[in-house]
Structures are given as structure tokens and as C-alpha cells.
Structure 1
Amino acid sequence: MRELARNSLIILGLIIPLLLAGCGGPPQNNPLLMEARQSYDKAEQDSMIVMKAPVALKEAEEALEQSQQLWEEGADRNLIEHYAYIANQKTRIARETAELNAAQDEVEQAESERKQVLIEARRAEAIAAERRAEDALQLVKEERAEAERARKEASELAERLSEMEARQSERGMVLTLSDVLFDFDSSTLNAGANKVVNELAGFLKNYPERTVHIEGFTDSIGSAEYNKNLSQRRADALKQALIQAGISSQRIETVGYGEEYPVATNMNEAGRQQNRRVEVIISNENGVVSQRTE
């Protein structure tokens, strides 16, 4: 019985955390929000700040509550930290404002010249702190705008590649062109290739940081040397077409693999047709295309 009870406790110890995890819970603590809360709590306990800067302290409280509410709702982390940062800065301004007001009260009891000097010094300090806060907030806005611009650019890039029927691979986005763009046993692009060339050239003009790696392939009919030469000539033909469309040759690399790296069987015509292809690998934003490994 004792062993049964012990096993039951172990099972319960495993099941309860799983049940709790399934029920969800509050998001993980946000360090910047916790820092803002500690800073505000400390200011709220300072009687001088409460008496001398109640309005500024209230503004800090409102910003903190906004950040706390967003955190509890599981909002975007950047938005939570944006309001937490504002709360932290407003708490700091409240403290400095309280110090300024306290100093003003002290100065009023002293000679007028000393009073004016201290007031101006404190005022300049408060203004500088406020300006620093405003500059920091502006920086946050600019960073968010830059992030949004990058997100939009990535979305447009994905949409454009999708329109070109490119697929994702470990080496990057790959556009596969069948041999119907070439006449039989020829490396001359036919008229049907113009649409593909224009689309690819237009894409490269819109994204000048991108480069392409053009790889030619054949089926296994004929000698390996002949097939490799034919695949190279076909890759070069596509390169020349892109150059004529206004793309710099420095952004285009070609290689002919011949009958290497088949994607289907060479035992029937359907498979051989799939192997007769040209693949265009589009680089990442740094212009780099990974080397083929298989």
C-alpha cells in the first residue's frame, strides 16, 4: 500500500504541471516593465515626490498601467516595452521635477540672486532630462518605423517570388525553368523564354542587392562531356539574355552540371524531361548563394 501511495503521488506530480500548462497563464515577466514598476514604487514612497510633483507622478502611473495592461493581455513585446520606457522616463522626470520644486521652495527663503541661480540650474537640468526622454522616444519611433519597412519589404519580396513560382530551398529561392525554353538539342532561347527573362530581370532591378546563380542540367542521353557542355551553354544563354535586359554580368554566375543531380529517373521520357532543366538560385540580401552539396 505504501508503494502504491508513493507511485500515485509521483503520477500526480507529473500530471498537475501538465494540466496547469494546458490552462495557460500570464506571459513571462518583462524585465523593462519590472524595472519601471520598481522605479515608480520607489518614487511613490517618496513623500517629497508625492507632494512636489503629483501631476508628473500621475502621468508615470498611467503609462505604467498601460504597459501592465498590455503585458497581461499578451500584447507585442515592443509595444509593452515602449510604454514601460515612457513610464520609467516620466518617473525620472517626476523625481527631478520634485527636486526642482523643492529647491525652488528653499531658494524662496534665501536671497533673490541665489534663488535665481538655483532655479535656472534646476530648470535647465529638468529640461535636459525631458529632452533626453523625448529623444529616446523619437529613437524608439524610428526603430519601429524601420522594422515596419523591413517587414513590408520582406512581404513584397515573398509575394514577387511567389508570382514567379519560385520555391524555397536550403540554398535560397529557386526558380526552375524546363527545357521547353530551348529548342531540342540547342542552347538558343526560343521566343517563349522572353516572359521569364523579363520577369527575372525586373525582379533583379527591383532588388539590386540580390544576385543569381544559374545552373544547367540535362538527362543522361548522350555522352557526359556533351551533356555538360550543352548545360553550360544553356546557362550562359540565359545569362546573356539577362545582361541584354540590363542586368550586370557581375551579378550572374553560371555552371553546367550536365546529367549530374537528376531530380527524376532517366528511364522514361517523363523523368528525362524533368531532368532537362535550368535552375536559377536567387541569393540572400547579402548577395550570397550557398554552394550545391547534393
Structure 2
Amino acid sequence: MKKTQLAPIVLAVAALMAGCSSTPKTTSMLDQARSDYLVAQANPNIATYAPLEMKQATEAMAQANVEANDRGSDDKINNLAYLAKQKIAMTQEVTKRKVAEAEIANAGKERDQLRLDSRTNEANVAKMNAEKATLAAQLAQSDAAQAQRVAQQAQLDAANAQRQTQEAQARAAQLEAQLADLAAKKTARGIVITLGDVLFGTDLSRLTADGMRSAQKLANVLQQNPQRNVLIEGFADSTGAADYNQGLSERRASAVRTALLDLGVARERIDMRGYGESFPVAANDSAASRQLNRRVEIVLSDNSGKIVAR
């Protein structure tokens, strides 16, 4: 996707803003989002490695600009600008990760070529030794025996490397299948599993039967991947008192933590946070969007057990 194809929505919004008789509003959050968006547009790697994420960021930016043009409330503008900043940040992170992966892949190809050259040289030396064997039978026999040992070791090394590769691929495939069953998503912070409020009783922190089944699946993933840890984060919508929502988010996160402990996951592998109304994933202006904000997110660590802080 060309860079010029990434911003038609933003350009259209700019034209709309120019045609309006009233001056659009702005906030510091919106200004930050616009600045971040311009930086992302200037990154030539984004069009190659994160075109979908950039499209989502562009759409989110356009929504924030439209709300500013309509002189909406500061809170709504800030919410939309914050969502745009998150999507822009995700675009940058995905691009960084994929660029790094591409560099690693290229380095791997170079290493493979070096190994191939080395083995080719070894084969050439063996051929020269075989030609010399016609001049001295004893030396030829010695060289043949040595060549056989080298070949056997090479076969053993190749078999071990193939087995290790297959085992790693099998583990990766198993983890991917398990996470797919939990509707996990890859984010800038790592793999995130979201438990919606339908997995809890209404206005309650107790997991439903479906919620317990999800907890069991997550426990299975952790038991089969002992090097990984989890951070459980609880969230609420903006309805009701902030103190109550904070407590509810903490209780729901604690319910998931308790379920994992009961299912055999070690206490030191589980961390927990409650954020109340903070970090909404949707505007709290409708029942559907508020339901999206009533959630528990479970962040799966990398293979070293580390989790990126929010």
C-alpha cells in the first residue's frame, strides 16, 4: 500500500473542516494524536509492514477530527483522540517488530549460506582426499574412515537440528491453536485475551460457567508453557460512581486470578491490576460501547516472563 493511499480519510476531514464556517475545536490530546499521526505517515516502513494497522489509525484519527470539527465535548474529543493515539502506537510497534523480524530472517539466510559454503568446502576437500587415495591405499583407507565419521556426525547433527525445529514448530502451533480458541489478539504489549462482561454475572464479579471454561483453557496454556506469566487487568464503564467501578474492576480481576490459582497455576506467575473506568476501548455513549469497556484483559508474557507495562 502506498503512503498516499493511507490518508484519504484524513484529507477528506481536513477539507470538510476548511469548508465549515466555525473554527474546529482542539485539545492537547488531539494535538498529540495529530503529531503522532504525522510521524507515522513519515515512516516509510509502515506501508510495507503495517498497512492494516495504519488504515485503522487513519480511520480513528478521522473520527477524532470530525468530532473536533463538530465542536463536540472535550471528553469525547479526548476519548477519540486517545483511541487514535493507541492505534497509531500499535502501528508503530507492529512496524518495529516486523522490521526486526525481517532483519533476523535476513541474518538467518546469511548464516545458512555460510554453513552451506562451509559444507561445500568440506565436500571438496573430501573429494581431493579420495583422489589422493589412489596413490596410497593406506592413506586412502584412513581418509575414507575419517570421511565416514564426519558424514555420520553431520547426519546426526542434521537429524538433531530437524528434530529441534519440528519440536519448536509443534509447540508454536499448539500455543497458537490454544490462543485462537481463547480469541487472543497480538498487541503492542504482547498477546492479550479479553473476557467480556458476559462471562460474569450482571454487576457481579463471579465468573459464569462459560467464564470458568475460558479460565480452564488459559490455565492449560500456562501449564504447557511454564516460562510464561500473566497480568490480569480489570476495567469498568463510566456508569455509576468511580469508587464503585474501581472496586468492581478489581473484584472481577481477582475472580479470574482466584480461578487460575484453583486450577493449579502458581501464585508467583499471576499479577493483577484494577483500572476502573480508565483505559476505555470504546466511547461510553451507548450500551454496546459500555459493554466493551466492562471487561477483563489477560496479558500473556513473552518467553522470558516479561510483560510490557501499560
TM interval, shorter chain, is: 0.5 to 0.7
Distance, in Å, in 2 between the alignment partners of 1:223 and 1:177 is 23
Are 1:101 and 2:119 matched, yes or no?
Answer: no
Q: Hey, what does 1:195 align to over in structure 2?
A: 213
Distance, in Å, in 1 between the alignment partners of 2:165 and 2:111 is 11
Distance, in Å, in 1 between the alignment partners of 2:270 and 2:260 is 9
For residues 159-190 of structure 1, what are the alpha-carbon distances to aligned partners after superposition, in whole Å with 9 as ceiling and x for unaligned? 22112111121122211111122223332223
Q: Secondary structure at the match of 1:213?
A: strand
Matching residue within 182, 193, 198 for 1:164: 182
Distance, in Å, in 1 between the alignment partners of 2:268 and 2:236 is 26
Q: Is the 8 A contact 1:201 1:242 kept in 2?
A: yes
Distance, in Å, in 2 between the alignment partners of 1:163 and 1:277 is 18
Residue 285 of structure 1, CA deviation = 2.2
Q: Is the 8 A contact 1:231 1:257 kept in 2?
A: yes
Distance, in Å, in 2 between the alignment partners of 1:82 and 1:150 is 21
Residue 83 of structure 1, CA deviation = 7.5
Distance, in Å, in 2 between the alignment partners of 1:154 and 1:191 is 29
Matching residue within 222, 231, 255 for 2:240: 222
Q: Hey, what does 1:256 align to over in structure 2?
A: 274
Structure 1 stretch displaced more, 184-193 or 168-177: 184-193
- Compared with structure 1, are the counterparts of its residues 142 and 91 closer, same or farther at alpha carbon in structure 2 (3 Å cutoff)? same
Aligned structure 1 segments of 4 or more residues deviating by more than 3 angstroms:
76-90, 121-126
Residue 235 of structure 1, CA deviation = 0.6
Identical-residue share of aligned pairs (%): 35
Q: Hey, what does 1:176 align to over in structure 2?
A: 194
For residues 101-151 of structure 1, what are the alpha-carbon distances to aligned partners after superposition, in whole Å with 9 as ceiling and x for unaligned? 3234xxxxxxxxxxxxxx3x6633442243123313321232132122212
Q: Output the amino acid matched with 1:146.
A: Q
Distance, in Å, in 1 between the alignment partners of 2:220 and 2:171 is 16
Distance, in Å, in 2 between the alignment partners of 1:209 and 1:264 is 33
Residue 217 of structure 1, CA deviation = 0.1
Q: Secondary structure at the match of 2:211?
A: helix
Q: Which runs of 5 or more residues in structure 2 are unaligned?
A: 1-108
Distance, in Å, in 1 between the alignment partners of 2:224 and 2:246 is 32
Q: Is the 8 A contact 2:195 2:211 kept in 1?
A: no
Larger radius of gyration: 1
Residue 223 of structure 1, CA deviation = 3.0
Matching residue within 231, 253, 258 for 1:213: 231
Q: Hey, what does 1:6 align to over in structure 2?
A: none
Give the TM-score normalised by structure 1.
Answer: 0.61
Matching residue within 239, 247, 269 for 2:287: 269
Distance, in Å, in 2 between the alignment partners of 1:270 and 1:91 is 70
Residue 207 of structure 1, CA deviation = 2.0
Q: Report the number of matched residues.
A: 202
Q: Secondary structure at the match of 2:136?
A: helix
Are 1:143 and 2:161 matched, yes or no?
Answer: yes
Structure 1 stretch displaced more, 182-191 or 259-268: 182-191
Matching residue within 124, 134, 139 for 2:142: 124
CA RMSD of aligned residues (A): 2.7
